[in-house]
Amino acid sequence: MGTHKPFFLWRHLNKLRWLSLSIVFAMLVALPFIHVYQTYAAAHAYDLLAPSEKQLYDVMETLTAAFADDPAEDLDAIKGNTWSGSFFGLQLSDPLAVAGQMAAGLKAYAPFLLTALIPVLFTLVLGRFFCGWICPATFLYELNTNVSTWLARLGFKVGNRRFDRRLKYAVLGVGLALSAATGSVLMAAIYPPAIVGRELYYAIALGGFGAGAVFFVGTLLFDTLVARRGFCRYLCPGGALYALLGRYRLVRIRRIVESCNDCARCNAVCEFGLDPLRDHFGQECNNCAACIAVCPTQAMTFVLRPTDYPEQGPGHLGKQYRRNHPESAAKGGH
């Protein structure tokens, strides 16, 4: 069979994705420590610190000495979280933050609007990539999925219900309407990446979790006990906004029907419960490349086109196709 093989690196993108997720999460843990260190440094108060604080000071000084001559100023280069942050002078915000803030105030503030420009442009090309590659909550949710799998193997009952995926668009719409009605950015309180970034800062630098930690644990329990990755699939308003923006994304995953053997591992591994086996990616796919990594016959690849391939039928290496096309077996291809 004259089929083209996918570029060999695509199979390893999933590892790169985990590296990206880990770096983002590690930064969200490190930044509060860096800030505490900065406050000590700004106060020139080393001699007044308690022994444990001195320890923190020494560790952070060792870690950051290579990047900063004056920690109190130079370490301000990277601040914030994925909800809104400043990165070497560049202000970046989540599009949901901008949408929510516009709804709450019923007006647009141009400088803040512009901070979402780069994320929106990336989303238009790459689709819902934030959900798979950056979101600090995804890092915890995917680990939670693994834990659930282990629990299931040990004999615990793990929830795997399915709801209507369109519910999250309703959550987004209701959130915008309620924000406009109450005059506060309500999405900030239920959007997991915003919660994770914020609560890590509260817990490390301010000495205690805020209001969101309990809600986040609730979503973890929902994922374990009710529906796998349930919050992201059915409820997340940010995921809904990203999915809408990335509906006609250019970079898509595509099944190469000639080398597919219908093993359905892609469907099993898909965190968002999509159906790559039947070419149903749609706007929900976050280009996480887990299906590419897991495919035993290298039948998944990236393509550049604004819409999905129409259904291609059963894979040519699968039983069903060979039964219907006896000549393909006679040729002795596979």
List contacts with another protein (CB under 8 A).
31-32, 35-36, 38-39, 42-43, 72, 76, 79-81, 83-86, 91, 93, 97, 100-101, 104-105, 109, 111-112, 115, 167, 170-171, 173-175, 178, 182-186, 188-190, 194, 197-198, 201-202, 205-206, 208-212, 214-215, 218, 235
Tokens read off for 258: 């000639």
Radius of gyration of the chain (CA): 23
Nearer to another protein, 82 or 259 (CB): 82
Residue with Cβ nearer another protein (52 or 146): 52
* Residue 127 or 197 having the CB closest to another protein: 197
Nearer to another protein, 160 or 182 (CB): 182
In angstroms, what is the minimal distance from the CB of 178 to another protein? 6
Distance of alpha carbon 252 from alpha carbon 188, whole angstroms: 29
Q: How far is the CB of 11 from another protein (least distance, A)?
A: 36
CB of 218 to another protein, least distance (A): 7
Q: Least distance in Å: CB of 242 to another protein?
A: 17
| Residue located via tokens 């440094």 | 41
- Write out the two tokens for 106: 């019923």
Q: Residue 43 is encoded by which pair of tokens?
A: 């106060």
Structure tokens at 118: 């780069």
Residue type, 230: G
The residue (of 16 and 42) whose beta carbon lies closer to another protein is: 42
Minimum separation from the CB atom of position 192 to another protein (A): 10
Shortest gap between Cβ of 131 and another protein (angstroms)? 17
Tell me the C-alpha to C-alpha distance, in Å, between residue 263 and each of 96, 269, 287, 321.
37, 12, 20, 13
Distance CA 56, CA 289 (A): 38
Instruction: Name the token pair of 212.
Output: 């969101």
Distance spanning both ends of the chain, measured CA to CA = 8
Closest approach, Cβ 286 to another protein, in A, equals: 20
Q: How far is the CB of 173 from another protein (least distance, A)?
A: 7
What's the gap between Cα 112 and its chain centre?
Answer: 23
Considering the complex, state which of residue 242 and residue 321 has its C-beta at the smaller distance from another protein: 242
| Phi and psi based region of residue 262 (left: phi greater than 0; alpha: psi -120 to 50; beta: remaining) | left
Amino acid of residue 319: K
128/198 with CB nearer another protein: 198
What's the Cα-to-Cα distance from 107 to each of 99, 104, 261, rounded to whole Å? Answer: 10, 8, 53
- The whole-angstrom separation of Cα 112 and Cα 197 is 19
- Residue closer to another protein, measured from CB, 241 or 260: 241
User: What is the closest distance, in whole angstroms, from the C-beta atom of residue 246 to another protein in the complex?
Assistant: 21
Note whether 250 and 306 are within 8 A (CB).
Answer: yes
3-state secondary structure 2-68: CCCCCCHHHHHHHHHHHHHHHHHHHHHHHHHHHHHHHHHHHCCCHHHCCHHHHHHHHHHHHHHCCCC
The residue among 32 and 313 lying less far from another protein, judged by its C-beta, is 32
